[in-house]
Chains A and B, each alone.
Chain A
C-alpha cells in the first residue's frame, strides 16, 4: 500500500530552527508538496520538490531525496505564527496525491 509518515507533533522554541521529516512509500513519484494549515483554516501551499536537493523560500526550506523516499521541511527563526500543522503530500505514478496525517508544530516563547 501507499504510505506517508510524519511525526504527529513537535515542539520548538521561538527564534529556533525546526526540521519536520516526511518519509514516503508510494507507487512511483511525481513530486512532493508541503502545506501549512492553521487551526480552523485552509491548508496553504508552501513548497514543491520534484528533483533531489534543497529548495529555499525565505525562512522555509524543503529538501528531497528520491532514492531514500525522504523529505524534510526546515523552518528557521521560528515565530509564534508558525504554530500550525504541516502536511506532506506526494504525487504518485498515477498522478494521485497521497497525503500524510500532518505534523502539529507547537512554538513556545
Chain B
C-alpha cells in the first residue's frame, strides 16, 4: 500500500521568500512521485514529476523537487515566491504499473499563502 503525508496544511511566506512544501511518502515498490497545483475553483495541474533518472526535477513556474530515497521525501521548493503562486499544492504517489492505469494516491494538500 502507498501513502503520502504532507507536513503542514497551511504555509504562509512573504513575496520573494523561499517556498518549501514538505512531502513524505510510503511505498513498498519504487514509486512515481508528483506535485500538482490547484488554483481556486479549478482542476489540478501537474507541476512536476519524478519517474526515473535525475533525482532533482524541475517543473513549471520555477518549482523544483528532489527525490530522496533514504528519507522517503519529495519536498517542493521555489527560491522566490510570487503572488501568483498562492494555491493548493498536492503531493501524489503511484506505483510503476507497466502499461497500466496510474492509480494516484494523494496527500491532504498544503495551502500556500503569499504575503505582500
The answer to whether A and B assemble together is no
B contacts, CB < 8 Å to A: none
Q: A-side interface residues toward B, CB under 8 Å?
A: none
